[in-house]
Amino acid sequence: MTGLPATTAPAKPETFDFDVLVIGSGPGGEGAAMQAAKHGKRVGMVEKYHQIGGNCTHRGTIPSKALRYAIFQMMEVNSNKLFAEHGLSAHLSFQKLRRTARAVIERQVQMRSTFYERNDVPVLKGTAKFIDQHTILVTEHDEGHKLVTAEHIVVATGSRPYRPAEVDFNHPRVFDSDTILDLAYDVRSATVYGAGVIGCEYASMFRNLDCKVNLVNTRDKLLEFLDEEIVDALSYHFRDRGMLIRHHETLDFVEPREDCVIVHLKSGKQLKTDILLYAAGRTGNTDDMNLEAVGITPDQRGNLKVNDHYQTAVPTIYAVGDVIGFPALASAAYSQGRHAASHLLGEDQLVGIGEIPTGIYTSPEISSIGKTERELTEAKVPYEVGHSQFKSLARAQITGQTTGMLKILFHRETLEILGIHCFGANASEIIHIGQAIMAQPAPNNTLLYFINTTFNYPTMAEAYRVAALNGFNRVA
């Protein structure tokens, strides 16, 4: 643990304004604040924006998923034969589709504001800067200053899109994942640089709007952390929809023009499209927090290093959510915040994190939990595979959403479920059935649950029984 500067005297315990001070009201900060408040602690929240909710509510998860759903609704109208027979179609501008997200954001802010009101958690509007390990200087929106002390501090400031200096993000045709939501005109073509989760999600959305899309990937495959069969299915589906994927490419420079933008790659390729969405990485929001005053040093991307209980190098200062890097999921951030709060409270039973499912909102969706085939093969675990193709399910045939599959990996001898991978409509919902069974103690976490359980018919949940029987037949 790094000591405080000699000139700074830490606040005495009896003079603390709060037991817990949280910086940032996104999912991680909210989870920490509510967990501590519910246990009778005096909790304060510092939020730099005028409204609570963090980047998740205002620039990330909520607006992008609301936009995706609006696009999906328009696609459904235009692909529905019944509507077509009656001459019905929908062609909405990007701006009009984006408006649906604003209503959702407003409802989210109103709802989350009540959490702080009901639990007597004051929200201090302004930016936070460390004075010492127990003292924060809050610079308020009216430029006023306020010193606040706390026994424990939780940093939940989130992250922002990484912006390399050589790319002109002030140009009206160059965007990142924050500014793309402010796109004020319709586009016919787009280059997405960066094929991570955010890049793939937006590439999906633009293709669903009938834009020509170049998806530039700096790696050899899309989303390499996923199971390879799922990655292959996503790549096939993207290409089948007309998307052009360019693997193992590196940006040379960007040439923005009045009517287009040209992306020059080091391979010599030149990609000319209406806009560029730069989506290659994110940076932790730790600038100007004066962390050096307490001996905490962010990494080169601004992320903070923490231990298993989300403590930084200073035990009384915790960090949760996107500011600590991977997995950078809203769902994980909330659980991390609750765990950090339960640890600083000294609880015997800490809030568990467990297996964290991935939810990737491409079109179709991807969700997974547990081990991949690659990981099991490298670990020399004797496993087998069970598949269920959505095209064979009655519910998928009824809805017309037949693209996709459910894949179960299980131990050949014990039948223990080791991993579940889903690709297709509502994958992020379907995965939770398997997650619940995987979390059960042995022998209740095996393939037999799905084989011996009656599922409603027709449902997408039936995919579990089909996949389980398919896998069981391989080892019976």
pLDDT digits (tens, 9 = 90+) for 314-367: 999 999 999 999 999 999 999 999 999 999 999 877 776 778 999 999 999 999
- Do both 111 and 208 map to the same domain? no
60 in a known ligand binding site:
no
pLDDT reported for residue 13: 54
pLDDT of 5 strictly over 60? no
Phi and psi torsions of 6, nearest 5°: -60, -25
196 annotated ligand-binding residue:
yes
Is residue 422 one of the residues assigned to a domain? Answer: yes
86 & 129 share domain = yes
CATH number for 52: 3.50.50.60
Query: What's the pLDDT score for residue 142?
Result: 79
Judge whether 198 is annotated as a binding position. Answer: yes
pTM equals 0.92
**Residue 463 assigned ligand-binding role:** no
* 201 has binding-site annotation: yes
Shortest CA distance to 358 belongs to which of 382, 323, 326?
326
Query: Alpha carbon of 425 to those of 62, 297, 391, 403, 462: distances in Å?
Result: 18, 42, 11, 8, 14
Predicted local distance difference test score (pLDDT) of residue 12: 53
Residue range 253-303, pLDDT digits in tens = 999 999 999 999 999 999 999 999 999 999 999 999 999 999 999 999 999
More confident residue, 185 or 10: 185
Question: What is the pLDDT averaged over residues 25-36?
Answer: 97
pLDDT band at 7; cut points 50, 70, 90: very low
Residue 98 shares a structural domain with residue 48: yes
Taking only the tens place, the pLDDT of each residue in 398-457 is 999 999 999 999 999 999 999 999 999 999 999 999 999 999 999 999 999 999 999 999
Q: How far apart are the first and last CA of the chain?
A: 56
Among 227, 250, 280, the domain-final residue is 280
CA distance linking residue 227 with residue 245, whole number of Å: 19
Instruction: Determine the Cα angle at 182 with ends 159 and 70, to 5°.
Output: 95
* Confidence label for 193 from pLDDT (cuts 50, 70 and 90): very high
The proportion of the chain whose per-residue pLDDT surpasses 70, expressed as a percent, equals 97
87-134 pLDDT per residue, tens: 787 888 888 898 888 889 999 999 999 999 999 999 999 999 999 999
Is 273 known to sit in a ligand binding site? Answer: no
pLDDT for 176 beyond 60? yes
pLDDT band at 179 (very low <50, low <70, confident <90, very high): very high
Q: Which pLDDT value is given to residue 345?
A: 92
Supply the pLDDT for residue 1: 32
pLDDT score recorded for residue 92: 85
Query: In this model, does residue 79 exceed pLDDT 90?
Result: no
Sheet containing 189-193: order of strands: 174-175, 275-278, 189-193, 212-216, 244-246
3-state secondary structure of 321: helix
In one-letter notation, the amino acid at residue 299 is D
Neighbours of 92 (CB within 10 A): 17
pLDDT at 14: 60
The CATH code of the domain that includes 404 is: 3.30.390.30
Contact call for residues 23 and 155 (beta carbons, < 8 A): yes
Could you give the C-alpha distances from 142 to 121, 122, 139, 325, in angstroms and in order? Answer: 21, 18, 8, 32
Q: Are residues 138 and 54 in the same domain?
A: yes
Interval 382-394 mean pLDDT: 97
Q: Token digits for 452?
A: 């011996």
pLDDT interval class at 4 (50, 70, 90): very low
Q: What are phi and psi of 137, to 5 degrees?
A: -95, 115
- Name, in order, each residue with C-beta under 8 angstroms of 266's C-beta and a sequence gap of 6 or more: 249, 250, 251, 252
Q: Are residues 28 and 131 in the same domain?
A: yes
Annotated binding-site residue? 194: yes
Host domain of residue 260: 174-280
Q: Does residue 351 fall inside a structural domain?
A: no
Which of 254, 280, 306 is the endpoint of a domain? 280
Q: Do 179 and 276 share a domain, yes or no?
A: yes
Residue 3: band (very low, low, confident or very high) from pLDDT cuts 50, 70, 90: very low
DSSP 122: -
Mean pLDDT across the chain: 93
Residue 157 annotated in ligand binding: yes
Q: Could you tell me the two tokens for 5?
A: 């500067």
